Structures are given as C-alpha cells and as structure tokens.
Amino acid sequence: MQSKIFLGTVLFIILFVATGVVLLNEGILPEQQTTPANPGTGRMQIEQRAILGGSKEQGALLFLGNCSTCHGRNGEGVPGKGPTLHPDLFTKHFPQIKSTLGGFGGTVKDFIRLTVAAGRPIESAWAIEQGGFPQRMPTWGKAYGGPLTDQQVEDIVNFIMGWQADAGAAQVVEFDAAGSDITKELPAGDAARGEQLFAQQVKQAGGSNAACKACHSLVPGEILTGPSLAGVATRAGTRVAGETAEQYIRHSIQQPNAFIVPDDPKFRQPNGKSAMPEGLGNLMSDQDLADLIAYLLTLK
C-alpha cells in the first residue's frame, strides 16, 4: 500500500515537471518575446514564424500556377503583360498612390491584397506610363467573384511581401541596350543562342528573361496574345513592301507600333497602339537582338 502511495507521488511529480517544462518553453517569459533585435525563441514564436513561412510556401505555389505567366517566374515582370513585383515597384510607385489617389489609407500589404483580391479593372496612370498592360489584372478573390479563397489570397500576399525584404538592394546592370534604333549595325547572330534566349534558358543582357514566348507561341496557328511565330521566316518578307524578312523582324522588335499585323483585332490595343510593348530593345543588348533575329529566321 505504501509503495502505491509512493508510486502515485512519483507519477504526479513527473506530471508537474513535464507540464512545467512545456510551460517554460512556450514563450511567455519576457526573454522569449520577439523584439526588433531578436526573433522570439519560445515555441509559440517559432510556430508563428513557421506558419508565416508555410503561408509563403503555399503562396509561391499559387503564384507559380496563377501569376507567373504575366508577372514572370520570379516576379520580375513581363513587359506588356504584368509589372514587376519586386521592391522597385512598391518603393517608387506606392508613395505616389498614397498621395495622388486621395490618400490610400492602407499599407503596402493592404494595397497588394486589394489588387490580388479585386483585380485592376481600369488601367492606372502609372501603367500607361509603363507602356500599357492590355490585359487587365483579373479578379482573384472569392469575395469579388474570383476563384481563390481568402486564405489563398493571403498566402499570395505574404509571398509577394517576401520580396520586399530586400527593398533598396536595387540591381543596376550596366550594358549597351539595343534600344529602338533600327539603323544601328548589329553583330553576327547566333541562332543557337537565340533559341536559348527565346526559351528563357539564358537571360538578356539587362538581366531579365526574353519575354517573347509569353505572347508568341511556336505552335502553328496558336494565338496567345500575338501571332504565332511558326513559319515567321517565310511570312516576314511579305508583310511590308521593301522590308526583307530580317529587317521586318528587327523592326517589329524595336518599333512594334510601326506595323501591326491586321489578321486579328487582338493585336491592336483600344488606344490604337500595338499589343506588343515598346521598349523591349531597352532590355537586350545588340548581340541578344542579333541572336534572336537569327533564330527567328530559322523558323520557316
């Protein structure tokens, strides 16, 4: 009998110790709290960070599946389709919004959440400045008629906010852009490298991927936003009188508004400009341009 009493006592002491250990690790002690200097060390603080991390992971997957076609695989933006989501956008653009739009009352995160959930039904002045995005940002949040739940929208917002952590680390790459001068002499083009540029296996001199395939399919007859490039080498010489295939292709890349293919009304924006963005030449070097032209000339 006495051994039972002793055993009972030992058991309850074990319970006390176990519960006490858990309690001390939870994160209610002052030294475990999260401060600007130190992330919290208690179990609750670790769990909070893990939950936010998990939200970013889910957001990254959703971004890959829903957003990357217009905003780029790494959020760098696709000219003519979707702006960059890296800090530059928000550090430059957001203060404008807070002041010009009658004072948007929220934070950058609120603004991102608003845009993801409700979309952008009307083109903003800034977007027009950038050369226009003919396809509007669609509505994603269920509350506004889109397909994603509130949790999913929040995940994407958390993921995009993850890019803002390196704000200020602006990457400036010095290079000679091809620009919009169609008379400049170009070096000899390497069709193999041009193919790699098109497939986004190598980047342009400016550091971004060539955005061609976002709008131009290689499948004959398939129209994404622009005409299919299958057989472009055969067609190109016939489009504009006096331009060879090579000149036509170069002209299209550097000055898209010079000639808009009439086959489909999609290729022209409501404001009369081409759906193909201007300024593509500013992202690539002369060599990039020559390589791309050489590659496109192989597509008969």
Partner 1 sequence: MTPEPFATWRRMIKEHGLIKTVFLRVDDTVTRITTGLNINDIRSVLRGDPPGKPNPRVKPHTESAIFHIWPSFYHEAVTKFYPTFRLGMLSTLLFFVEIMTGLFLMIYYTPAPGVAYDNMLKILSNVPMGQFIRDIHRLAAEFMVVAVWLHMGRTFLTGSYKKPRQFTWATGVILLIITIGLSYTGYLLPWDQLAYWAVTIGASMADAAPPPEVGKAVALLLKGGPDLGAAGLLRFYLLHVFALPLVAILFIFVHYYKVVRHGHSLPPEMEPIGEDTARKVSQDKRVPFLPDVLTNELVWFGILMVALVVPVALNIYNAPLEHAANPSSTPLHTVAPWYFLFIQGWLKLGDKTFWGVIFPTILIGLLLLWPYIDYNPSRRYGDRRIALAAMFGVIGILVISSYMGTPGFAVTTAPQIEIGYEFMPGEKVGPIRAIPFDQMKEGTWSTLDLASIPDDAPELRRVMEELAAAVSPQSVPPVQTINGQEVRYTNMYGELTINIAQTANGEPTLKELILGIHWDEQPTDPTNGRPGYFVYTYVSVDSTYSSGGE
Q: How many residues contact partner 1, by CB under 8 A?
A: 45
∠ CA(18), CA(24), CA(27), 5° rounding? Answer: 135
In whole angstroms, the minimum distance from the beta carbon of 231 to partner 1 comes to 20
Question: Per CB under 8 A, does 151 bind partner 1?
Answer: yes
Q: How far is CA 76 from CA 14, 27, 187, 209, in A?
A: 56, 38, 28, 9
Question: Per CB under 8 A, does 202 bind partner 1?
Answer: no
User: In this complex, which beta carbon is closest to partner 1, that of residue 9 or of residue 234?
Assistant: 9
The correct pick among 31, 166, 176, 181 for binding partner 1 (CB under 8 A) is 166
Could you tell me which residues are beta bridge partners of residue 67? none
In whole angstroms, the minimum distance from the beta carbon of 121 to partner 1 comes to 25
- Greatest Cα-to-Cα distance within the chain, rounded to the nearest angstrom: 110
Tokens 């829903």 locate to 66
Judge contact between 27 and 44, C-beta under 8 A. yes
SS3 of residue 177 by DSSP: strand
Q: What is the footprint of partner 1 within residues 37-66 (CB under 8 A)?
A: 43-44, 46-54, 56-58, 60-61, 64-65
CA-based nearest residue to 286, from 166, 212, 190: 190
In whole angstroms, the minimum distance from the beta carbon of 5 to partner 1 comes to 7
CA distance 229 to 235: 9
Question: Per CB under 8 A, does 150 bind partner 1?
Answer: yes
Q: Which residues of 26-36 are buried (b: 16+ CB within 10 A; e: fewer)?
A: ebeeeebeeee
**Applying CB under 8 A, which part among 123-131, 149-157, 238-246, 270-278 lies near partner 1?**
149-157
Q: Which residues of 94-119 are buried (b: 16+ CB within 10 A; e: fewer)?
A: eeebeeeeeebeeebeebbbbebbbb
User: In this complex, which beta carbon is closest to partner 1, that of residue 58 or of residue 247?
Assistant: 58
User: In this complex, which beta carbon is closest to partner 1, that of residue 228 or of residue 285?
Assistant: 228
User: In this complex, which beta carbon is closest to partner 1, that of residue 178 or of residue 215?
Assistant: 215
Binding mask 68-97 for partner 1 (x = CB under 8 A): ------x-----------------------
SS3 of residue 82 by DSSP: strand
**Applying CB under 8 A, which part among 16-24, 124-132, 223-231, 276-284 lies near partner 1?**
16-24
User: In this complex, which beta carbon is closest to partner 1, that of residue 107 or of residue 149?
Assistant: 149
Judge contact between 132 and 273, C-beta under 8 A. yes
Question: Per CB under 8 A, does 113 bind partner 1?
Answer: no
In whole angstroms, the minimum distance from the beta carbon of 279 to partner 1 comes to 27
User: In this complex, which beta carbon is closest to partner 1, that of residue 31 or of residue 47?
Assistant: 47
Question: Per CB under 8 A, does 249 bind partner 1?
Answer: no
Q: How far is CA 162 from CA 118, 154, 159, 213, 259, in A?
A: 21, 12, 5, 27, 41
Residue ranges in contact with partner 1 by CB under 8 A: 1, 4-5, 7-8, 11-12, 14-15, 18-19, 21-23, 26-28, 43-44, 46-54, 56-58, 60-61, 64-65, 74, 147, 149-151, 159, 162-163, 165-166
